[in-house]
Amino acid sequence: MNLSEFDVIWSDAYRRIFNSCWRESVRPLQFFYNNLPLSYVIDERRLIFCRKLPAHNNIVLQSLVKLPAVFYEYCGLSCKYNICNPYCSVVTIKRTVWTISTSTLGL
């Protein structure tokens, strides 16, 4: 499964909970309840995980930081969300992802 399929499942759950038609958009509901579409939640958590890796004292997690794949994934996600500072705080990451997601949703 890819992220768009997870977004469909996430939206269908909103439709079922709020008893709405399949043609209606759930974006206003997600915005009202301060929830992001699932693809944005996954990206946000991946960014936060990669950001916190260097601070861990676990040997396995510290060795993950040195892998090029982890570095390139973090760089790709930071470029997607225009995060220029690799050492920005978790709050900044969450605020940036929220701002980008709401601007692309048209709210």
Residue 106: its pLDDT value, please?
A: 62
* Cβ-based neighbour number of residue 72 at 10 Å: 10
The predicted structure's pLDDT at residue 95: 93
User: Quick one: pLDDT at residue 85?
Assistant: 81
Q: Which of 93, 80, 2, 11 is nearest to 50 (CA)?
A: 93
Helix pair 38-52, 3-17: axis angle to 10 deg: 120
Going from the first residue of the chain to its last (107 residues), give the mean pLDDT of each consecutive group of 10, the final group possibly shorter: 83 89 83 86 90 84 82 86 85 91 71
Output DSSP code: residue 58: -
pLDDT of residue 105: 63
Q: pLDDT at position 96, please?
A: 92
Identify the pLDDT of residue 45. Answer: 93
| CB contact at 8 A, 24 and 16 | no
